[in-house]
Amino acid sequence: MKNRREFLKTSAIGAGSLMLQSSGAPLFANQPSSKPPMRFIFMHKGNGLFPSVMVPPSLSQVDLARENKKEAFEVDLDRHELPKWMSALEAHKKEMTILQGLSGKMCTNGHHSWQSCLGVYAANERLSSIKWATVDFELAKLFPSPLEHIELACFPIDGGNARGNIHGIEKGFSARGPQQPNYAFGSPKVAINELFKSVANNEAGRVRYELERKLLEFTSNNQSGLRRDLTGLELAKVRNYAEAMEDIRSRNRKLESMGAIIEKNVPKLDKKYLADELSTIDCQVGHTEILLSALISGMTNVVTFTVDELGTLYTGAPGLETEKINLHDVGHGKGVGKYKAEEVREIIRIRHIALIDTIVRRLKSVPEGSGNIFDNTMLFYFPDNGETHHGTGIEWPYLVLSGKNTKLNIAGRYIRLPFWGREGHKTIGNWYTTVLNAYGNPIKHYGDHDLTLKAHIGDQTGPIKQFMA
């Protein structure tokens, strides 16, 4: 069974994502009678995200006093300066939300969170800790696509999820369902080889794709035949394998029918982004292009992107190109080169913001219906382990960018919700419940409750009502 499992793992991931040049046409661009789907991008980072760095520097004395006391208030961003590290997003202020005051103490905090930040439960390395599908997969169900969901990651070399196979396909930070981790692409090269093989323009690539297709067909038929001779647990296993392979074949057929659109979006990346060993920064750039093409082509409507994790050994950072940055050491206040730890953190965040700017600008440049693709997109940028290096989950900041057709009333504002333990406080469970409810999932509450919060505010269930459009 081991070889079959490995085959299934790599083949299932192989029916995956895409890439962009701005000339590519989206699936719904010339279909005015079709309602475009919503797209969702989840970008999360390691080593915490200090709430203090999210605050606009131009707050009035009154609002700054509220901020320092962590009292609830909100202001329009168009009347304020953005934090310096967010300056690349100046052109997108009307679509921005800086959201403070959420908590996530029900999650695994500290160094790593595994599926916690997307699933709102305490997770760890054991598959048995995965309670249900993470929020990105729940949204993917609401907006079906040939590939359902794609996950990309700059994997850590230690801790977190991947260990060793950081440039291949490994367990990611999302989950398809109970005890079902998702698998993520660890490098642009592997992602391209797997995701574009149906339109490969070289003989080797086409031969590989045809062989895999025939192998899937043979194996699926063979597994179906085996059912006649099996009972009980073995029958259930074979049935699951057969159904999984038929699902892969079905997705491949959908991809083949989208060949013309896919070919328009095949990436034309410089060779350095396709190397077997590449810097963290180059990996992020390559993954960003994959993310864009996957959405623009219509192959998926949901992408999750781990831009870094605490165990990611950072290389290629501007001004520190020759350094291998140990984020754990930075989290403990150790500087790198001529930069203090706080400055290293800012350098890394600035790179993240540059990626977000690239994503938003590119999506805005692609027509769709009477507007553009970004009109129907939400992007979330947040830490995977709470507010700091040794996160406690007491605060969980979010930066959100959302197009005009999104269904939440939050854009263009700095919003601070009541702090943990105070009346009106909300958790990331409330936040994800809000998003899911807004887009058609009537779930009463997504995620676990914070048991230590119950004595302070009572009922934690439900969406954040003032955010509902």
Q: What are the structure tokens assigned to 34, written together?
A: 């079709």
Mean pLDDT, rounded, for 361-382:
97
Q: How far apart are CA 210 and CA 207, in angstroms?
A: 5
Q: What are the structure tokens assigned to 445, written together?
A: 């509450």
* Radius of gyration of the chain, Cα coordinates, nearest whole angstrom: 22
pLDDT in tens, 265-285: 666 778 888 888 899 999 999
- Identify which has the larger pLDDT, 415 or 293: 415
Q: In this structure, is the dihedral angle defined by the CA atoms of residues 108, 44, 192 and 220, taken in order, positive or negative?
A: positive
Within 8 A by CB and 6+ apart from 131, the residues are 119, 121, 123, 178, 448
pLDDT in tens, 132-142: 999 999 999 99
Least confident of 50-54, 161-165, 336-340, 430-434: 161-165
- Candidates 190, 155, 159; CA nearest to 16 is 190
Mean pLDDT, rounded, for 422-427:
96
* pLDDT of residue 21 exceeding 70: no
Q: What are the structure tokens assigned to 54, written together?
A: 């999210």
How many degrees, rounded to 5, is the angle at CA 411 between CA 82 and CA 383? Answer: 65
Mean pLDDT of the chain: 84
Question: Would you give the DSSP letter of residue 98?
Answer: E
* Strand pairing report for 371-372 and 367-368: antiparallel
Q: What percent of the chain has pLDDT over 70?
A: 77
pLDDT in tens, 166-198: 888 888 999 999 999 998 999 999 888 887 665
- Identify which has the larger pLDDT, 33 or 412: 412
3-state secondary structure 30-92: CCCCCCCCCEEEEEEECCCCCHHHHCCCCCCHHHHHHHHHCCCEEEEHHHCCCCHHHHHHHHH
- Identify which has the larger pLDDT, 297 or 336: 336
Mean pLDDT, rounded, for 334-353:
97
pLDDT of res. 250: 62
pLDDT of res. 11: 39
pLDDT of res. 402: 98
- 142, 440 contact by CB (below 8 A): yes
pLDDT of res. 258: 63
pLDDT of res. 243: 55
Q: DSSP E strands: which ranges in 52-211?
A: 73-76, 96-100, 150-153, 169-177, 180-185
